[in-house]
Structure 1
């Protein structure tokens, strides 16, 4: 870890709650393939002085956790705009838990991408299923491409060790959040050091009371940084500086508005060694813009997104779902204000 703490940066002043509520649009966007148990992604988008911004914590998150996502919404829409160092960022393809025969169809939606992130350890799936999916991804991307896997913390240490022994022959770039806790990640790193598979921490950063604990414990080789769950670009950059580890900038199945936030974070980084997990607009069957941030030649543009009002209307959530999201925004705002 860095020996010096980053200079604290002031959080953006909260805009009036009415400014957020009155201009909020709640959408429900269908997915091309079931992902994380979802067939559609709900999100709230709103326009601030800087442009369009997004609030889309997963529905199971309570106000305390969702308030970080609202802080990111405000940071991107109302806060300081950070200097970007690039006009585009390289992204990975994301492969849900599909059958091997469907792998090519999914990955063809990511033209030019040289990295594939494969979802593993899904409920109802076996290690044999995961090996077959990873093998199909490796065959698709070729020897020169990169394959990373993401278990979302679903394995025990013993299960993760068994899985990595089976999957290491496919030349994994890294395994993302193989186990749920920081001590488990540290133990797994010790037990699998000879396999040459680095460990990346995601949930142990974005869902932790102390996002630097995993780096302090030496439990990961790199960190997965997501703008929304960490409170915005400003907060995520501070974590990057303090952790002193390589990072992968990723997203949480956002609309193109949220992906724009992630792209601006990635482009503000002084160095990126790994392709970003920001190509997930390819998983959406609809979006909020006529110019979505889809991968082209393996990258997405770093730009603000112009939201299309007709698309907002077409994909507007039902009245009860809209009220659900507005109430979440109110509750999260109260946490920030308190």
Structure 2
């Protein structure tokens, strides 16, 4: 199916954020659009997983939803903590525990560190599902991320293997990518936690029409069988014109495609 996607002319976009531009390549397949937006330092293997996620909606489609909309967290009840230093992470969690934090999203590379933090705090710890596959006892909750997992189906398979409560963390840069995150949350058999949060820049910097932009209403986002396509005017506004940057992202895209 990848032969039906035009990688050479796929538009490269840059969305302004407080931390600098977020880049993405929008890929159009036989049935619609997807978003390829791996981190800038992604190697080809990680980029290939992001491309699989981008191609999924327009080729095989997403699994059927079991709910028509998903709850979205505004960040008030969750805390993101980096666990580069276990003692510092434990202290930060302890300082903010009185604020009724529902769950801590722990960013770390070593399951041993995650396990150490978990045993020293009294709030549920969530880590990326890949870390839990290495040590199923290192956290209480699996964080599912559609893009780096390789799409909705692969993320769901990770959740099934772990058999733990799951939390969906949004990885999309635009509403095209965000629709995949919502599709994952909508298809999970159980959704005990709100998802998100929606990127703060989305209200001012999206490539789909205003009517299709995934801005939460009443604390929820609607699930859809396909992402919206880009609005031509908005797409032009965020299109990258620098030849070197375009070449870099299309090169990464082609290398990722070659690995599929």
Q: Taking structure 2 as the reference length, what is the TM-score of the superposition?
A: 0.91
Partner of 2:189: 270
User: Is the 8 Å Cα contact of residues 56 and 254 (structure 1) preserved in structure 2?
Assistant: yes
Task: Return closer, same or farther for 1:167/1:81 CA change in 2, 3 Å cut-off.
Answer: closer
1:296 aligns with 2:217: yes
Indicate the RMSD between aligned Cα atoms, in angstroms. 1.9
Equivalent runs, 1:323-334 vs 2, <5 Å: 323-334=247-258
What is the CA distance between 1:81 and its match in structure 2? 3.2
Deviates more, 1:235-244 or 1:39-48: 39-48
Residue among 197, 200, 206 paired with 2:123: 197
Deviation digits for residues 207-236 of structure 1, max 9, x if unmatched? Answer: x6xx62242xx0010011011110111101
User: Is the 8 Å Cα contact of residues 37 and 172 (structure 2) preserved in structure 1?
Assistant: no
Gaps of 5+ in 2: none
Secondary structure in 2 matching 1:228: helix
What is the CA distance between 1:252 and its match in structure 2? 2.0
1:82 aligns with 2:63: yes
User: Is the 8 Å Cα contact of residues 281 and 294 (structure 1) preserved in structure 2?
Assistant: no
Deviation digits for residues 253-294 of structure 1, max 9, x if unmatched? Answer: 521001101111111111101001152265553111112101
What is the CA distance between 1:335 and its match in structure 2? 2.4
Residue among 224, 227, 234 paired with 1:311: 234
User: Is the 8 Å Cα contact of residues 25 and 45 (structure 1) preserved in structure 2?
Assistant: yes
Secondary structure in 2 matching 1:240: helix
In structure 1, C-alpha distance between the alignment counterparts of 2:62 and 2:193, rounded to whole Å: 24
Partner of 1:223: 142
Q: Taking structure 1 as the reference length, what is the TM-score of the superposition?
A: 0.71
Task: Return closer, same or farther for 1:282/1:233 CA change in 2, 3 Å cut-off.
Answer: same
Partner of 2:153: 234
User: Is the 8 Å Cα contact of residues 156 and 179 (structure 1) preserved in structure 2?
Assistant: no
In structure 2, C-alpha distance between the alignment counterparts of 1:65 and 1:327, rounded to whole Å: 14
Deviation digits for residues 282-329 of structure 1, max 9, x if unmatched? Answer: 555311111210111111111221311221112101222211110011
1:162 aligns with 2:83: no
1:21 aligns with 2:2: no
* Greater than 3 Å deviation, 4+ residue runs: 281-284
Partner of 1:136: none
In structure 1, C-alpha distance between the alignment counterparts of 2:85 and 2:198, rounded to whole Å: 29
User: Is the 8 Å Cα contact of residues 5 and 28 (structure 2) preserved in structure 1?
Assistant: no
What is the CA distance between 1:248 and its match in structure 2? 0.9
Secondary structure in 2 matching 1:212: helix
In structure 2, C-alpha distance between the alignment counterparts of 1:178 and 1:237, rounded to whole Å: 21
Gaps of 5+ in 1: 1-13, 95-115, 117-146
Partner of 1:66: 47
Number of residues of Structure 1 aligned to a counterpart in Structure 2:
255
Residue among 31, 37, 45 paired with 2:26: 45
What is the CA distance between 1:182 and its match in structure 2? 0.5
